Structure 1
Amino acid sequence: MLHSINKEGRLISVSDAWLSKLGYAREEVIGRRSSEFLTPESREYAITDVLPVFFRTGRIDDVEYQMVCKDGRVIDVLLSAVLDDNSPGGGVSLAVITDVTALKTAERQLTLSEARYRELVESQSELVSLASPEGELRFVNHAYARRYGWLPHEMVGRSLFDFVPEEGRAAVAEHLKQVCSVDRSVENENQVVLPNGQTRWMAWTNRALTDAEGRVTAIHSVGRDIDERVAVERRLQESEARYRLLADNSTDMILLVGRDGKRTYSSPACVALLGYEPEEMLQIRTKDAIHPDDIGFLADRQAYIDDEATTFRYRMRHKDGSYVWVESVSRAIAAEPGQSPQRLVVVRDIEQRLAAEQRLKESEARYRLLADHGTDMVFQLDLDLVRRYVSPACREILGYAPEELTGIKPLSMVHPEDAVGVTLAFQSLLSGHVDRHSIINRFRHHDGHWIWVEAQLKTLKDPQTGQPSGIIGTLRDISARKAIEDQLQDANRRLQALAEQDGLTGLANRRSFDNALSREYGRARRDKKCLGLLMIDVDWFKSFNDRYGHPAGDECLKRIGAAIKNTVCRPGDVVARYGGEEFAVLLPDTDEIGTASIAERIRQAVFRLAIEHEASPKHVATISVGAISLAEGGPAEPEALLRNADQALYRAKDNGRNTVVRGSHLAPHGPPG
């Protein structure tokens, strides 16, 4: 979308795309201030922050605004603009506007999803972290940071080994390697060092997170303080009475279970967890208290004599008949002589944690669906490049039903000019040269017109042989983006033209002339050709401005510039306003005689304009011209040619003005003093 505004900020032109997007007719907007179409917030931002930079630098790039459509809809846009002080009337601004509403909407949805995820994590009392496989912390929740007396952002970037006693670091490092090697949660317990130097035991549930290629990108950890539990276990060996005191006050349900599954002790926490009194829990065998689908976890009798701690997740039957998800840590305890081995089982309610984990998984799934697919068409090709699957998004993008596209080759719908490039992309994927490829091409829509699409392609490989078995890809319609890109290219071409044109006369400006002189000078010396140069100055022009005013002076310069342009007719000739009342003419392949002849015709053409000039001896506006031509053996630099032309011009003024002086006539007299 394009629009132009004058120095008062009022619209003087808008593109059809601008009108279509905002829903206005051209007569409804021309003459109105461009700021009227911004939201109040964007309008204030433009006035206070953007416009001062724009008027200081003459341009702005990719400024984020919100514009209000006629029907009240608000769209997100990026605006780039350039200030043209040389335009008639001065201060005209040309702006290019890109609609980024869809992108901003997606960003806001992603931000909301992430915020929900963080809210879930931060609501937990357990310690939650994300760390690199090497142990560098990338995220910690507030509970984690509070545990160590830091703020969350102060811990990010630090190594988790900084908080582990030196003697325990090797074991933690080995555990992290184990976590990265398996596709499941792994439990771990280790000591941590608090800011006051105290060490505490923590229990961690760790799981490796992997990318699409299966590479471990991070380790997700959920931890809780088990220092008291460890202390309880240690004191159990010293005194059962002390153990019972601690166990009875624990919020976790603590059980002593014999080898035959019969309980010999249950802590009072069983009431809150399962609704049973401790005496009732002693009458229930383990296999009768666990969900039938989960009993297999405890079926291995070896687990009851293993000295290592074993962690399980399973469902236990509540007194009301429902089942509660729990996590238990079971450890063998030393038996007195003559007694059967027992295990100490600490059971914790994890219903809320599992619910939170499920909500996190659902949030992540929604996020991935939005980030990876959105409204893109997903398709799969076999080795013969025949479609075997097409997602329903094809209806919106191509106008076809999935079944209409399945079983045919996509090349039949590719624009003939793009077919070779698409074929080469497919071949490079199936040959194994690349695993991924991105292409942009035109596709025929169901109604017959062509649309621009962008496809992201990936090779499918046979899991057994590793050889390519097909291609999977996503395709999206980028016609709108291509149209915007074309508009931007057109705007850039017009801006380039303005940069090389004099705003008053429409002739080439000095920058453009200097570039042409350098180019033609080099060509003339290389090909041993002539190159004519005229330097022209309007006589008594200061007096003209003083007498008739600057507007009349501008009109005088425009008429003289037009007369020069009309006299110099060849396509390769360059006419420029060199500065102020000075003009310059470049005449390729023209010797000094021809150059002087053209100069004389220009002088006469200007004289015939009969522009009134009372301060001139001729009573009309006249010009003085220095005419020179590069010949073989001439100066080696274009600047020298310009100096010689200037000297000829000065001689013309010294000779009374309204005359032409050739460069070759300077030699007997030398340069003017």
Structure 2
Amino acid sequence: MTDHANSEQNHLERIAQLEAALERETLLRIESEELLAECEDRYRNMMDRSPQLVIETDIHGHVTYANPAAHELFGYSDEMYGSHITRFVHPEDIETELQVFERGLAGGKDTILSRIVTSSGDLRYVFNNSIPRYRHGALDGLIIFGMDVTELKKIQDQLENSEERYRALAEAAEDYIYLFDEDLRLAYVNRAGARQFRDEPERLTGRHITDLFPEQTAHRQEQSLRQVLKTGQSLFVENMYPFLGRGEVWLSARLAPVRDSQGRVTAVLGISRDIS
């Protein structure tokens, strides 16, 4: 075989190898695209069925996807798509939301409570966070996950209002009302109680019981508080207390356990009255 024939044969073999490599690459790309499409279908199906709110945006903040839970809460259908996320945010929160969005694109992990205005004008509270979304290795937008906590927020507000009313009543009371935490530090005292120490409530809170009374009195009071913390049972006691400028004062005191959401006793509420 001549050199020319050999060269021609090598050239044809090289072309065949390139064609085979191209075919393998094409098949691999097709398989990868099919696998990616399958993964995206699974992801979309999972997001569609999620009870949490899921919203996707482009890098400019325009909505590209919202799952059924988001549509239901916001009260919008397809008109959500293409809208900027700030369209659904309370006007006073827009600047904060934009800052959080920019931090989210940069990989920030803020979890915030957002005020959402629905299509009917109702105000909803949503805890949300986000992660950057990438496509073909490039930043493509943001995926926002949220949970509607409106009812929890209402309960919290009611509790805070109740606490404010309780404090108002406590401050107006002539009885001495106080709260010791499980470390036996004064967490709260009303003004009537603080007056017995000739001090202000703010200066007394945080102090240990041994800093408030002489050793013998503090020891007796400590035993009573620890009994309530340990047993979870209320206790009624009558004891003598020495107060600066008043001498010995006899007080009747009812000590009651304060429990957290798990039922654990974390503090003792006391109400004392002068019976001298």
In structure 2, the residue matched to 1:163 is 212
Matched, 1:53 2:103: yes
Aligned letter for 1:53?
R
Instruction: Map 1:376-415 onto structure 2 (within 5 A).
Output: none
2:103 and 2:57 map into 1 onto residues whose CA distance is: 17
Preserved contact between residue 172 and residue 190 of structure 1 (Cα < 8 Å): no
Q: Structure 2 CA distance, aligned partners of 1:151 and 1:210? A: 25
Q: Find the partner of 1:4 among 40, 56, 72.
A: 56
Match for 1:36: what amino acid? R
Structure 1 residue 161, shift from structure 2 partner: 3.5
Letter of the aligned partner of 2:237 in structure 1? V
Shift of 1:46: 1.3
Look up the match of 1:34: 85
CA drift at 1:135: 4.9
Cα distance in 2 between the residues matched to 1:14 and 1:133 = 47
CA distance in 2, matches of 1:102, 1:65: 14
Give CA-to-partner distance per residue, 1:454-513, whole Å, 9 cap, x none.
Answer: xxxxxxxxxxxxxxxxxxxxxxxxxxxxxxxxxxxxxxxxxxxxxxxxxxxxxxxxxxxx
Distance, in Å, in 2 between the alignment partners of 1:51 and 1:214 is 39
* Structure-2 residue corresponding to 1:123: 172
In structure 1, the partner of 2:126 is 77
Q: Tell me the residue number matched to 1:379.
A: none
Equivalent residue in structure 2 for 1:209, among 256, 262, 268: 256
The alpha carbon displacement at 1:41 in A equals 2.4
- Seen in structure 2, the aligned counterparts of structure 1 residues 37 and 171 have a Cα distance that, compared at 3 Å, is closer
Confirm whether residue 218 of structure 1 aligns to residue 268 of structure 2: yes
Root mean square deviation, CA, Å: 3.6
SS of residue in 2 equivalent to 1:3: strand
TM-score if structure 2 supplies the norm length? 0.64
Q: Deviations over 1:173-225 (max 9, x none)?
A: 677689899855333332123xxxx453334231232478997952513245x
AA of the residue aligned to 1:6: D
What is the alpha-carbon distance in structure 1 between the residues aligned to residue 141 and residue 166 of structure 2?
A: 48
Q: Check conservation: 2:60, 2:141, Cα contact below 8 A.
A: no
**Residues 1:52 and 1:17: Cα distance change in structure 2 (over 3 Å):** closer
Q: CA deviation at 1:120?
A: 1.1
Letter in 2 for 1:19: H
More helix by share: 2
Code of the residue aligned with 1:222 in structure 2: it is S
- CA spacing shift, 1:178–1:205, aligned 2, 3 Å: farther
Query: Counterparts of 2:264 and 2:114 in 1: how far apart (Å)?
Result: 41
Q: CA offsets per residue over residues 242-286 of structure 1, 9 Å max, x none?
A: xxxxxxxxxxxxxxxxxxxxxxxxxxxxxxxxxxxxxxxxxxxxx
Which deviations, in whole Å up to 9, do the C-alpha atoms of 1:143-164 show, x marking residues without a partner? 3335435443442332334233
1:177, 1:100 → 2: CA distance? 37
Contact kept in structure 2, 1:138 and 1:157, CA below 8 Å? yes
What is the 5 A alignment of 1:436-585?
Answer: none
Partner of 1:104: 153
Matched residue SS, 1:71: coil
Q: Distance in 2 between matches of 1:2 and 1:63?
A: 15
Structure 1: distance between partners of 2:65 and 2:213 = 68
Distance 1:36 1:23 in 2: 13
**Cα deviation digits, residues 570-610 of structure 1 (max 9, x gap):** xxxxxxxxxxxxxxxxxxxxxxxxxxxxxxxxxxxxxxxxx
* Structure 1 unpaired stretches of 5+: 225-310, 312-328, 330-673
Aligned length: 219
Distance change (3 Å), C-alpha of 1:151 and 1:44 = farther
Please give the per-residue CA displacement for 1:45-84, whole angstroms capped at 9, x wherever unaligned. Answer: 2134x234224x3243432101111111111112222223
- Say if 1:143 and 1:45 are closer, same or farther in 2 by CA, change over 3 A: farther
What is the aligned-residue identity percentage?
Answer: 23
Instruction: Name the TM-score, length of structure 1 as normaliser.
Output: 0.29
